[in-house]
């Protein structure tokens, strides 16, 4: 006898179920549900229980749209290996959502379907049965929004198989590792922002958004993320005190001058040539540090910032910003290296750099930055749509066409 039943569960039950899994997606967690509630989207936690044990579950959030609501399941719902459980989950969700005035349910599936090397050569395919799987549940393939197109292709790095973090760092591309080593010598420090520093984080991201023409969030959103996810989110800042570094660089320059005098006394021409090259580099850097120290004084100055989600199975790099005036300091490299170190030391196996442009897009700057850390490109499975109220959904589409005219 089949004892399976569809139920609407509490957020606490959902959290307990998710905590036992290895395939956790940050958008299918209680924390994400709490975040959605904070920004005005109602969360529902649906499940199928067999003998009072949850065997399948999903978080769905409702957003108000014209003539009703749009329901969305972000990330991968936790399906059962038993097909009838999944059918029961979706049919139960559909019936419940219909009573809430939902027009359609969209599952933003985020599963890898194709993997590529750094030259866009396909090396593997995965999850080729997804279209059929969702088709059997009544879904059809849905189009991507302009925002989602930015995450159709992604970049990731597998952190397994490295003896220590130094070996992992050596797996980076040569230029990337050299940039990190150079940036470390410039006195940049990496911090995890407190709740009170979120306004500073926002300023960096806003400046980058204005320069690169992407929309940013208000402060209340970052505060809601911080409160909902707690230690599962990190807002990371790169800072420098230009006055302190100018003084340190001046001392280093003086030391090199002394070494040159010693080399001259010993008639070591080769050493003198090498030391003169160091003087040239330090002197050039000193001029810039002096200018910046005069401008910003004796205080920490933020160079760059980035946000990350921390799951037991992966670290997810969401987005970042950098002040363009400080580009030469390469602070974003240090932030990524800091978080890769964090992931490795916490036995987290996957590092998700997230979105890159499609291969036919001429702007490959974001991909080139992420490729410094030597991972792989993969394509996401995209969206699936289940119409909950066919007639009303059809009328909405017709009205949209009329309004566009």
CATH number of the domain that 350 lies in? 3.40.630.30
**pLDDT for 305-318, tens place per residue?**
999 999 999 999 99
- Rounded to an integer, what distance in angstroms lies between the CA atom of residue 148 and that of residue 76? 15
Are 315 and 217 within one domain?
yes
Whether 91 has a pLDDT exceeding 80, the answer reads yes
Q: Which domain holds residue 167?
A: 157-239+299-380
Please indicate, yes or no, if residue 274 is contained in any of the structural domains.
yes
Residues 79 and 198 in one domain: no
CA-wise closest residue to 176 among 378, 375, 374, 356: 374
**Are residue 250 and residue 234 in the same domain, yes or no?**
no
Mean of all residue pLDDT scores within the chain: 92
Quick one: 233 and 308 in the same domain?
A: yes
Which residues are registered as beta bridge partners of 384?
107, 141
Q: List all residues 6 or more positions away from 358 whose beta carbon is below 8 Å from its beta carbon.
A: 149, 152, 153
Judge whether 368 lies within some domain: yes
Q: Report whether pLDDT(221) > 70.
A: yes
Residue 260 shares a structural domain with residue 308: no
**Has residue 113 got a pLDDT over 80?**
yes
Residues 229 and 333 in one domain: yes
Give every CB contact of residue 37 below 8 A, 6+ residues apart in sequence. 43
Residues 273 and 327 in one domain: no
Of 296, 313, 336, the one marking the end of a domain is: 296
Residues 17, 90: one domain? Answer: yes
Residue 230 sits in the same domain as residue 318: yes
pLDDT band at 13 (very low <50, low <70, confident <90, very high): very high
Residue 1: per-residue pLDDT? 55
Q: How far apart are CA 145 and CA 154, in angstroms?
A: 16
Are 179 and 232 in a shared domain? yes
Choosing from 272, 296, 320, the residue where a domain stops is 296
What confidence category does residue 397 fall into, taking pLDDT thresholds of 50, 70 and 90?
low
Does some domain include residue 110?
A: no
Name all contacts of 139-146 with Cβ < 8 Å and 24+ positions apart.
Answer: 139/107, 139/384, 139/385, 139/386, 140/384, 140/385, 140/386, 141/382, 141/383, 141/384, 141/385, 142/106, 142/382, 142/383, 142/384, 142/385, 143/383, 144/382, 144/383
Q: Write down the residue that tokens 């922002």 correspond to.
A: 193
Q: Is residue 112 part of a domain?
A: no
96 lies in some domain? yes
Query: Which of 252, 267, 296 is the last residue before a domain boundary?
Result: 296
| Same domain, yes or no: 9 and 75 | yes
pTM exceeds 0.85, yes or no: yes
Whether residue 88 is found in the same domain as residue 192? no
pLDDT grade for 402, boundaries at 50, 70 and 90: low
Q: Is residue 123 part of a domain?
A: no
Q: How many domains does the chain have?
A: 3
Does a structural domain hold residue 141? Answer: no
């Amino acid at each position: 006898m089949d004892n399976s039943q569809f139920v609407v569960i509490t957020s606490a039950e959902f959290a307990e179920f998710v905590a036992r899994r290895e395939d956790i997606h940050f958008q299918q967690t209680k924390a994400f549900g709490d975040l959605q509630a904070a920004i005005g989207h109602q969360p529902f936690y649906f499940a199928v229980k067999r003998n009072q044990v949850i065997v399948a579950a999903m978080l769905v959030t409702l957003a108000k749209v014209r003539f009703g609501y749009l329901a969305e399941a972000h990330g991968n719902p936790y399906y059962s290996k038993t097909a009838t459980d999944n059918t029961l989950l979706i049919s139960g969700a559909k019936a419940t959502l219909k009573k809430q005035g939902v027009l359609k349910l969209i599952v933003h599936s985020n599963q890898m379907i194709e993997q590529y090397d750094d030259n866009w050569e396909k090396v593997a395919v995965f999850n080729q049965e997804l279209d059929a799987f969702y088709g059997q549940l009544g879904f059809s393939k849905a189009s991507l929004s302009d925002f989602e197109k930015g995450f159709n292709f992604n970049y990731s790095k597998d952190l397994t198989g490295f003896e220590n973090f130094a070996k992992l760092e050596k797996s980076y591309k040569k230029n990337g590792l050299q940039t990190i080593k150079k940036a470390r010598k410039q006195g940049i420090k990496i911090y995890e922002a407190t709740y009170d520093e979120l306004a500073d984080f926002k300023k960096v991201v806003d400046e980058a958004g204005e320069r690169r023409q992407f929309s940013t969030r208000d402060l209340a959103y970052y505060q809601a993320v911080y409160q909902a996810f707690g230690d599962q989110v990190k807002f990371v800042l790169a800072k420098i005190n230009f006055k302190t570094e100018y003084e340190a660089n001046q001392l280093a320059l003086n030391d090199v001058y002394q070494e040159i005098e010693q080399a001259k006394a010993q008639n070591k021409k080769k050493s003198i040539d090498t030391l003169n090259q160091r003087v040239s580099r330090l002197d050039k850097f000193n001029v810039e540090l002096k200018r910046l120290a005069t401008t910003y004084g004796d205080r920490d100055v933020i160079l760059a910032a980035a946000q990350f989600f921390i799951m037991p199975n992966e670290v997810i790099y969401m987005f970042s910003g950098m002040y363009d005036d400080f580009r030469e300091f390469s602070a974003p490299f240090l932030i990524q290296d800091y978080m890769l170190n964090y992931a490795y030391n916490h036995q987290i196996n996957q590092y998700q750099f997230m979105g890159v442009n499609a291969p036919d897009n001429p702007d490959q700057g974001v991909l080139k930055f992420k490729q410094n850390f030597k991972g792989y490109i993969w394509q996401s499975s995209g969206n699936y749509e289940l119409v909950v109220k066919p007639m009303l959904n059809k009328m909405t589409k017709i009205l949209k066409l009329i309004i566009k005219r």
